[in-house]
A and B are shown apart, each in its own frame.
Chain A
């Protein structure tokens, strides 16, 4: 391991992460995510092993690595789609131990998917309202009987959904079916839906996949805008190095299920282990 990487603060009671790349503004605040030595086995295969990462409360972090390194598996563990075999995941200092996906979502972890998973048969607005599912407070009977609470809550939900859609200028598409949107808009809608859950940590799985350079630039601006507006942390998996190096304050590099480097963009770019993982060993 390169010496730049310092040990991660192990206790949630002392919320001062010592990792160099946690931005100064987040120091002294409880980190939003602390993954401690997490790992998962599929059959006999160690898909991810001993992964440790701390993310500051408004930090934008990149998770990079070659295909098959285990990046999405980490997202699946953080959201409890898979229960980690080893290790601890703390969200805002809270141990997620036996929690399932729904409970972790209620703690404030939201995500997008590499292969877009929208509710294709429902409208764009309803997709956002589904993101806001646990923010809307009325039950089945209020809905069926159309009690006053239904009208009140739906009105708030509608306004909030439109507000969220305006981040990506998608208000005009509110009544379209999600499945009929163009590819780029589907990716953006997934982000908006995730924001609907009122998260403190947003996980983006390859948000720039399939986008051209100008769309990617716009996306970068929007990711920063989202962080600044909502004051949340963003952890993203991405292969587009311009995006990663451009907006990520901290970067973690994964190879064969193991963390091989952590640090700032500059640290990573000069790290011989990372270069070897991406380009192979130099022959001399």
Chain B
């Protein structure tokens, strides 16, 4: 029963990673850049929802929508102002810029909200008790898992069926060819950042709800872990991000419970290393050979 409860908390944590990883993998797939600022968008989403609920006293659902709206705008702005001018630049320049944006977001939050952790009221409280109270699952966990599944199904349908989704896949495969086919590359990339950032906002709300605290660096580690999850599953692959997020969440939760809480992060990273050694493009990634 104990195992089951750790497993469920792992699935819940993994769902948060999966939601972030889905955004990350889409952004990476299309922009081919390590967007280190992605994790900080999660933090912004957390603060926006916190203010909405606490200071404006609005309902959690309004808070989520507002957080999504703000993060979407933020994501599109970041892409347009910082990344778009560097589309032809070496990838390291883009990486450093992303790090700059990450510092910018973190330090802006530090100035506005201060360094102390703020306590975060979960958007939904209460727990389900099963097996005569031996197993309890919080509503937040259930909501997280449900949200993750809905998002993953929605994104899969969007990218495979809709016109914009197909355009997205085309741009991620070959920008020049997509442009020649009449696809507006810039707006497609903006849309991808918008979706990724909106997902980050949702992840932010769910993450803060399950941990109940929020500070300017809240997003960094989950951001890195989610990126790890995306690479683990095969970067650019939507089912891969979902799978990677879930597995890493479960690995982390079980390691904390049974091996060592200090080494849980290390075990997660070791899992990534092992998977990449066996399959250098991740679980569901595909190998593209270099043409000679």
What is A's interface to B at a CB cutoff of 8 Å? 72, 76, 81, 113
Contacts and interface: CB of A to CB of B under 8 A. Distances in A.
A81 B292 CA distance: 8
Contacts of B292: 72, 76, 81, 113
Contacts of A72: 292
4 contacts: A72-B292, A76-B292, A81-B292, A113-B292
B286 to A, nearest CB: 13
Contacts of A76: 292
Interface string B273-292: 00000000000000000001
Interface residues of B, number: 1
B288 to A, nearest CB: 13
Contacts of A113: 292
A72 B291 CA distance: 11
A64 to B, nearest CB: 20
A113 B291 CA distance: 11
A258 B292 CA distance: 20
B248 to A, nearest CB: 32
A260 B292 CA distance: 24
Nearest to B291: A115
Nearest to A205: B292
B284 to A, nearest CB: 19
A72 B292 CA distance: 8
A81 B290 CA distance: 11
Nearest to A117: B292
B161 to A, nearest CB: 28
Interface string B110-143: 0000000000000000000000000000000000
Interface in B240-292: 292
A113 B292 CA distance: 8
Interface string B37-63: 000000000000000000000000000
A76 B290 CA distance: 12
A244 B236 CA distance: 46
A252 B289 CA distance: 28
**Top 4 closest pairs, chain A to chain B, by CB:** A81-B292, A76-B292, A113-B292, A72-B292
A87 B292 CA distance: 21
A243 B269 CA distance: 57
Nearest to A79: B292
A250 B62 CA distance: 79
Interface in B8-44: none
A129 B143 CA distance: 64
A98 to B, nearest CB: 20
B90 to A, nearest CB: 13
Nearest to A81: B292
B287 to A, nearest CB: 12
A256 B292 CA distance: 19
